[in-house]
Structures are given as structure tokens and as C-alpha cells.
């Protein structure tokens, strides 16, 4: 019943729009701060996270620390581009309400990556709010560009699926 309310109620879409814009602003601001400073370097953060994967109660689980050590740190230059631009683009997409479900999924992925690395900050709050937007699906982007984009995509996808099915049965 609650999920149906999130997915279908037009008044809830107003609340979701406020949450979406708030989260979008947070992501946009975080990304733009890193981009505009020109000094963003994730390697220190990742090395710090790897250092926190030991002890009786590590704040970083070994599997995540090993991922950082073996994959992320050697490619820190790539992550120095992906992180700020990812934050900025997720924020812009959420504010505009375009590809909302995909955008919030990418935002949640980043939130979890930060939490796996041992930080808290605003990430749990952003995860909680993001989950409502993700569960709401298209209703969260109804007061945004998704209002026009999603029906076009659905029409195109179903048209291709119908053509494929027709050609297979003939």
C-alpha cells in the first residue's frame, strides 16, 4: 500500500520532487566544488580507507579495502575524474528530473561507496531519502523532464519488442 502510494499518488510526486531537488542540489554542489577547485584527489581518501580495514572493529571491511587497494588506488587518476563529474551529473539529472531512477541509483551507489570507505557524514540521510525516490520510480520524475522522456522511451522500447516478437513468429 505504501509503495503504491509512492508510485502513483500525484500529491506524493510533489514531495518526491522536493526530495529529488534537495538531493540533486547536494550532489551538484559536492561535484561542482571538486570540479571548480581543480585540486580534487581521491587517492588520499582511498589510502585512508585501506588503513582503516584492520583492527578488532575495522570501519572498512577487508573486501572493500582490497577493492580499493587492488583496483581503485592504481586507477586513482580515473576516479579523480569519475567522482566529481559523477556527483555533478547525478545532481543535474535529479534537479532536472531526467532519468531519475537511474540517476538516484548512481547517487546511492556513490553514497554506499563512501560509507563502505568508513565515512558517515550526510550519506545515511541521502541513502534514506534516495530509497524513497528509487522505489517511487517514474512518479519521482513526473514533475520533471521524465514526464516527456519516459513515455517516448517506453513507446520506442515496446515498439522494438513488438517488431522483434512479430519477426520471430513469422
pLDDT in tens, 52-102: 998 888 999 999 999 999 999 999 999 999 999 999 999 999 999 999 999
10 Cα distance to chain centroid: 24
pLDDT at 156: 82
50 pLDDT exceeds 70? yes
Q: Where are the domains of the chain?
A: 2-144
What mean pLDDT is predicted for residues 7-19? 95
Q: How many CB atoms lie under 10 A from the CB of residue 2?
A: 8
Whole-model pTM? 0.88
Of 64 and 165, more confident: 64
What mean pLDDT is predicted for residues 139-152? 93
Residue 162 binned pLDDT confidence (cut-offs 50, 70, 90): low
Amino acid at each position: 500500500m505504501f509503495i503504491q502510494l509512492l508510485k502513483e499518488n500525484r500529491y506524493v510526486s510533489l514531495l518526491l520532487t522536493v526530495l529529488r531537488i534537495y538531493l540533486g542540489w547536494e550532489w551538484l554542489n559536492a561535484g561542482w566544488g571538486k570540479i571548480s577547485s581543480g585540486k580534487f584527489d581521491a587517492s588520499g581518501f582511498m589510502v585512508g580507507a585501506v588503513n582503516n580495514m584492520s583492527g578488532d572493529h575495522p570501519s572498512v571491511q577487508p573486501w572493500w579495502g582490497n577493492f580499493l587497494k587492488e583496483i581503485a588506488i592504481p586507477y586513482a587518476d580515473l576516479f579523480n575524474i569519475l567522482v566529481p563529474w559523477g556527483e555533478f551529473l547525478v545532481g543535474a539529472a535529479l534537479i532536472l528530473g531526467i532519468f531519475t531512477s537511474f540517476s538516484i541509483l548512481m547517487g546511492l551507489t556513490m553514497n554506499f561507496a563512501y560509507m563502505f570507505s568508513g565515512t558517515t557524514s550526510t550519506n545515511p540521510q541521502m541513502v534514506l531519502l534516495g530509497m524513497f525516490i528509487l522505489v517511487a520510480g517514474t512518479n519521482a520524475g513526473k514533475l520533471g523532464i521524465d514526464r516527456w522522456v519516459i513515455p517516448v522511451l517506453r513507446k520506442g522500447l515496446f515498439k522494438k519488442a513488438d517488431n522483434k516478437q512479430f519477426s520471430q513468429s513469422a
